[in-house]
Amino acid sequence: MSGKEIFPKTLGFIVNPVAGMGGAVGLKGTDGEAILKKAVTLGAKPVAPARAEAFLSELKALKDNLRLIVGAGEMGENEAQKCGFSHVVLGERKKETSAKDTIEIAKRIKEMGVSLLVFCGGDGTARDVLNAVGMDLPVLGVPTGVKMHSAVFAVNPEAAAKIFQEFLFGGLPLKEAEVMDVDEEAFRKGRVSAELYGYMLVPYKPWLIQGSKMASPVTESELRNQAAIALYVIENMEADVVYVVGPGTTTRTIGDLLDAEKTLLGVDLFCNKKLIAKDVNERQILEKIRGKRAKIIVTPIGGQGFIFGRGNQQISSKVIRQVGLNNIIVVATKSKLENLKSLRVDTGDASLDAELRKNQFKVIIDYKMERIMAVE
pLDDT tens string 95-140 = 888 899 999 999 999 999 898 999 999 998 999 999 999 999 999 9
pLDDT at 113: 84
Give yes or no for residue 219 having a pLDDT over 90: no
Percentage of the chain lying above the pLDDT 70 cut: 86
Of 69-83, 187-201, 271-285, 288-302, which range is least confident? 187-201
Is residue 196 within 8 Å of 178, Cβ to Cβ? yes
pLDDT at 5: 43
d(CA 47, CA 39): 12
CB atoms within 10 A of CB 247: 25
d(CA 269, CA 285): 8
Classify residue 163 as exposed, middle or buried by CB count within 10 Å of its CB (0-12, 13-18, 19+).
buried
| CB neighbour burial string for 295-334, b if at least 16 within 10 angstroms, e if fewer | bbbbbbbbbbbbbbbbbbbbbbbbbbebbeeebbbbbbbe
Give yes or no for residue 308 having a pLDDT over 60: yes
pLDDT tens string 174-184 = 999 999 887 65
Query: What DSSP designation does 279 have?
Result: S
List Cα–Cα distances, 339 to 240, 266, 267, 302, 336, in angstroms: 36, 24, 25, 8, 7
Give yes or no for residue 189 having a pLDDT over 70: no
Give yes or no for residue 11 having a pLDDT over 80: yes
Q: What is the CA radius of gyration of the chain?
A: 21
Torsion over CA: 359, 360, 365, 368 (sign): negative
Relative orientation angle of helices 48-57 and 157-170, to the nearest 10 degrees: 40
Read off the pLDDT of each residue in 327-336 and give the average, rounded to a whole number: 96
Would you call 270 helix, strand, or coil by DSSP?
A: strand
Give yes or no for residue 208 having a pLDDT over 70: yes
Q: Give the DSSP letter string of 265-279.
A: SS-EEEETTEEEE-S
Give the chain's mean pLDDT: 88
What CATH fold (topology level) applies to the domain 7-203?
A: Rossmann fold (3.40.50)
Could you give phi then psi for residue 96, rounded to 5 degrees? -125, 125
β-bridge pairing 268-271 and 274-277 = antiparallel
Give yes or no for residue 299 having a pLDDT over 80: yes
Q: Using 50, 70 and 90 to split pLDDT, how confident is the model at 6?
A: very low
Is residue 312 within 8 Å of 320, Cβ to Cβ? no
Give yes or no for residue 254 having a pLDDT over 60: yes
Q: Which residues contact 61 (CB under 8 A, 6 or more apart)?
A: none
Q: Using 50, 70 and 90 to split pLDDT, how confident is the model at 42?
A: low
Read off the pLDDT of each residue in 40-51 and give the average, rounded to a whole number: 72
Read off the pLDDT of each residue in 29-39 and give the average, rounded to a whole number: 53
Could you give phi then psi for residue 64, rounded to 5 degrees? -80, -10
Sequence ranges of the domains in the chain: 7-203, 220-374
d(CA 96, CA 345): 31
Q: Using 50, 70 and 90 to split pLDDT, how confident is the model at 93?
A: very high
Partners of 195 in beta bridges: 181
